[in-house]
Amino acid sequence: MRGTLGEAYFRTEAGHLFVKQLFRMADRVADKVADRLYVTDIEGVQQLSENNTLGITAILNVSEYESYPVFVADYLHLSPVDGESVSADLFWEAMKFCKRVYGQGKTLLIHCAYGSSRSVNLLEAFMVLQNLATDMNEAHRKELLARPESAHWTPSSAVRTSVIRHLEEKRQWD
């Protein structure tokens, strides 16, 4: 089925928005990828700000937007540009925040605008650093099990490449 018109459609913005609407119709505002670890998009976090049904206690926002009332005490907003490399400083600031709040037993939500590139790559890197996955490929498989619709999304290769490069350095983790 690779290369079909249907697959090409899902890789467009319109197709992505269609899948997101299906995601919303299933009443899923965020996906649990591991214990106390969730990922979503800006719409999902806006819904959670009105009714935090998942018990989220910490948020890493890696979108360009801050369009919802912050409803948790532990909140970090970083703005990597979607489609571009993530700087080492931003990557390690995000990972240290995640490590701190997750280590305190908090329920962490990572989100970006669409929930398909910046947030997913940082989530997967954090899973590797926390030994929730052996490498980015295993982390990606676990993310796909939690959110099968994301198989139709194409994360930015520049974001993923830079995250993998920083992950391999691990210099600022320990």
Which tops the pLDDT comparison, 45 or 155?
45
Kindly give, in sequence order, each residue whose CB lies less than 8 Å from that of residue 86, ignoring residues fewer than 6 positions away: 80, 118, 121, 122, 159, 162, 163, 166
Q: Is the pLDDT of residue 76 over 90?
A: yes
In-domain check, residue 81: yes
In-domain check, residue 36: yes
Q: Is the pLDDT of residue 5 over 80?
A: no
Q: What's the mean per-residue pLDDT of the chain? A: 84
In-domain check, residue 64: yes
Per residue, the 3-state secondary structure of the chain, as one string, reads CCCCHHHHHHCCHHHHHHHHHHHHHCCCCCEEEECCEEEECHHHHHHHHHCCCCCCCEEEECCCCCCCCCCCCEEEECCCCCCCCCCHHHHHHHHHHHHHHHHCCCCEEEECCCCCCHHHHHHHHHHHHCCCCCCHHHHHHHHHHHCHHHHHCCCCHHHHHHHHHHHHHCCCCC
Q: Is the pTM of this model over 0.75?
A: yes
Pairing of β 37-40 and β 58-61: unpaired
Q: How many domains does the chain have?
A: 1
Q: What is the CATH number of the domain that holds 88?
A: 3.90.190.10
Q: Using one digit for the tens of pLDDT, what is the confidence trace for 77-118?
A: 998 887 889 999 999 999 999 999 999 999 999 999 888 889
In-domain check, residue 174: no
Q: Which of 155, 81, 148, 151 is nearest to 125 (CA)?
A: 155
Q: Which domain holds residue 42?
A: 5-169
**pLDDT band for position 169 (cuts 50, 70, 90):** confident
